[in-house]
Amino acid sequence: MSVRDRFSSRKRLPMAGAVIVAVGLLTASAVPAADQGSLPGASQDGMSLQQKDFASLDVNGDGVLAPHEYYARDYAKGSFKKADMDGKGVLNETEYVNARSISERMTVKDYVDDAWITTKVKGMLLKDEILSGLQIQVDTSNGIVQLSGWVNSQDQVDRAASIAQDVKGVRRVENDILVKNRS
Ligand SMILES: [Ca+2]
């Protein structure tokens, strides 16, 4: 090997070394295959996948996600604002978890807004000839409709749930409607 050859092969080494290190880190982090693309290769021990995920987006390390940090990943437009529960303009870790699930739902083709669902369910209950005079509260969160209030019979409880379940975008109905005691 001539001096020149040795020199040029040494020059190539750093790059080859970097590739090997990167591959090694990816393997060592042992994340599920589906998440590998979105998580940093290097991660500290003792952090959950969720914490690592959050930390990878929190570029300036201040413990919250600004919009540009959040949208560095391809989350659904508007999901940041919906998840910013305290209106501080940044997402803490809890809000971020929520934002992710909101984003996931928003990217589904037939995504329907919670407020729209609530309005629609209330309207359907009001229109129903059997349930219209009854006080049934409707609340929707992440596509889960919670019904509460008082009605006169178990049939009415079931009917309200069935009406709510049929509304577009409803994932599940939590039925807390109670039957009044007959005196
Ligand atoms: Ca930040």
Q: Provide the pLDDT confidence category of residue 46 given band limits of 50, 70 and 90.
A: confident
Q: Give the chain's largest Cα–Cα span.
A: 105
Average pLDDT, the chain: 82
* Same domain, yes or no: 104 and 147: no
pLDDT at 2: 52
Q: Which residues pair with 44 in a beta bridge?
A: none
17 and 51 belong to one structural domain: no
Question: How far does the centroid of ligand 1 lie from the alpha carbon of residue 37, in Å?
Answer: 21
* 58 & 87 share domain: yes
Cβ neighbours around 121 below 10 Å, total: 24
What gap in Å lies between CA 86 and CA 27, rounded to an integer?
38
Residue 34 inside a domain? The answer is no
Q: Domain span at residue 83?
A: 47-111
Q: Domain for residue 41, yes or no?
A: no
Q: Average pLDDT in the 36-48 region?
A: 56
Q: Are residues 24 and 58 in the same domain?
A: no
pLDDT-derived band at 100 (thresholds 50, 70, 90) equals: very high
In three-state form (DSSP H/G/I as H, E/B as E, the rest C), the secondary structure along 20-44 is HHHHHHHHHHCCCHHHCCCCCCCCC
CATH number at residue 106: 1.10.238.10
Q: Work out how many domains the chain is built from and give that number.
A: 3
Q: What's the 65 CA to ligand 1 centre distance in angstroms?
A: 4
Residue 65 has pLDDT above 50, yes or no: yes
- How much distance in Å is there from the Cα of 84 to the middle of ligand 1? 14
Are both 95 and 120 inside the same structural domain? no
| CA–centroid distance, residue 93 to ligand 1 (Å) | 11
